[in-house]
Amino acid sequence: MRVDPSKALRQMQKQQEKIMEELAQKTVEVTVGGGTVRIVMTGQQEVKELTIAPEAVDPEDVEMLQDLVLAALNEALERSRDMAEEEMRSLLGGLGIPGLR
């Protein structure tokens, strides 16, 4: 049986759109500094929440707060990308492309 490539491509595009919609709803949550900085990010790398505990705000040590925010943001980005990659891998693996699982 021959598979119509354009039909298969349309099906894959629909599945990809569905995954992107799902990733917009899924989130990762990261806390650093013993919970002083918290970031919630979607699977599409959109920051939904940023919480900074009042005790983390020290006018004498702004650099520490900046470092905590950067650490939380970078970890959230990494986790979000990993989640998106896993979702896309499941899409491509389901298509039966050799070498993909």
Give me the CATH number covering residue 66.
Answer: 3.30.1310.10
Indicate whether 17 belongs to any domain.
no
Indicate whether 58 belongs to any domain.
yes
- For residues 37 and 72, what is the distance between their CA atoms, to the nearest angstrom? 7
pLDDT digit string, tens, across residues 13-39: 888 898 889 999 999 999 999 999 999
Indicate whether 10 belongs to any domain.
no
Q: Rounded to two decimals, what is the model's pTM?
A: 0.77
- For residues 101 and 99, what is the distance between their CA atoms, to the nearest angstrom? 7
* Rounded alpha-carbon distances, angstroms, from residue 20 to 6, 27, 45: 21, 13, 11
For 56, which DSSP code? G
CA angle 49, 22, 3 (to 5 degrees): 155
Show the domain range for 75. Answer: 27-101
- Are the C-beta atoms of residues 45 and 81 closer than 8 Å to each other? yes
Indicate whether 8 belongs to any domain.
no
Provide the number of structural domains found in the chain. 1
Indicate whether 13 belongs to any domain.
no
Indicate whether 79 belongs to any domain.
yes
Higher pLDDT, 10 or 81: 81
pLDDT level of residue 6 (50, 70, 90 thresholds): confident
